[in-house]
Amino acid sequence: AADNFVVYSTNVTWFAFLRFCFRSHLSRYGPCPPFTALMASVPTSFNEAIRTFDQRRLRQTTVQVRTSDGRAKITDRYDNQLSSISSRHFNDDISRYGFISNTSPDLQVAQITMNDLSLCFGSQDVAADLTTLQQHGITHIINLVSDYVPNYFPNLFEYLSLTVRDDLTYDLHSAIYACCEFITRRVLPQGGKTFIHCNAGVSRAPCIVIACLIRKCRLSYDEAYDLVANARNISPNLNFKMQLRALALENS
């Protein structure tokens, strides 16, 4: 009880002291400005803080830009070149490019066989390796990147050359139709085996395989996708996935 009394007495003393200071302030300086007036200069939201921020308060800095051929330059915020960096400043070939370059060939060949349909797919490295193609019994090749990857063995295999862009706007319908027609008219009558390739073999080529399974084998999107994904690691872009889902609904 004595302790509580001491605390209470102390609080009363401090309250009296603060009241005395407040009255002294009023007598000397007049009344305090309203609280709303004090808060008028304080940003009311995060967006307001951004809107009123002065860019001149930012610390100036530079940007180091590296190109795919290893050249580098120092620029300001307006992309004005301030200086260049010679190759001797780079420690190794990997840091020189700003990304890790994997020069080992990707010779994995994924194979899907269903009924009389036999489809293989992979990267452009396989398309350039005659031994790998012959080991897998390939007779026909669908080149989806013929704008920059040549048909390496035109005297040994029958080719379908297309240009399919791996982006969020490309329409797959014409490519799907051309590939299915090629397989129906040129491959199946000969009992052949098709190898479909793009660049890395993870987006365009597997999407064409999925489309062929949907159209020719009447599989659902999920069934075709799982079958292809179990054969090889794939990563189709969102645009292609949406088109393939729509194709499966049309064929259901």
| Residue 102 within a domain | no
Q: What is the pLDDT of residue 90?
A: 47
Q: Kindly state the average pLDDT of the residues 66-75.
A: 70
Cα 120 to Cα 113: distance, rounded to the nearest angstrom: 9
More confident call, 128 vs 84:
128
One-letter amino acid for residue 2 of the chain? A
Return the HEC string of the chain: CHHHHHHHHHHHHHHHHHHHHHHHHHHHHCCCCCHHHHHCCCCCCHHHHHHCCCHHHCCCCCEEEECCCCCEEEECCCCCEEEEECHHHCCCHHHHHCCCCCCCCCCCCEEEEECCEEEEEECHHHHCCHHHHHHCCCCEEEECECCCCCCCCCCCCEEEECECCCCCCCCCHHHHHHHHHHHHHHHHHHCCCEEEECCCCCCHHHHHHHHHHHHHHCCCHHHHHHHHHHHCCCCCCHHHHHHHHHHHHHHC
144 and 237 part of one domain: yes
* Residues recognised as catalytic: 198
Q: Kindly state the average pLDDT of the residues 87-110.
A: 65
Q: Kindly state the average pLDDT of the residues 53-79.
A: 74
Q: What is the pLDDT of residue 6?
A: 44
| Residue 50 within a domain | yes
Tokens of 199: 């660049």
Contact indicator for 206, 142 with CB cutoff of 8 Å:
no
Give pLDDT tens digits for 30-52. Answer: 555 554 454 455 556 777 777 78
| Residue 104 within a domain | no
Does residue 208 carry a pLDDT above 60?
Answer: yes
186 and 226 part of one domain: yes
Give pLDDT tens digits for 124-166. Answer: 999 999 999 999 999 999 999 999 999 999 999 999 999 999 9
Q: Say how many Å lie between the first and final Cα of the chain, rounded.
A: 84
76 and 39 part of one domain: no
CATH of the domain at 212: 3.90.190.10
Give pLDDT tens digits for 2-23. Answer: 444 444 445 556 556 666 665 6
| Residue 158 within a domain | yes
Q: What is the pLDDT of residue 202?
A: 96
181 and 79 part of one domain: no
Our count of domains for the chain comes to 3
137 and 231 part of one domain: yes
Cα-Cα-Cα-Cα dihedral of 247, 232, 147, 152, to 10°? -130
Does residue 95 carry a pLDDT above 60?
Answer: no
Does residue 241 carry a pLDDT above 60?
Answer: yes
The domain in which residue 75 lies consists of 59-97
134 and 231 part of one domain: yes
Q: Kindly state the average pLDDT of the residues 205-222.
A: 97
More confident call, 80 vs 77:
80
More confident call, 29 vs 209:
209
| Residue 149 within a domain | yes
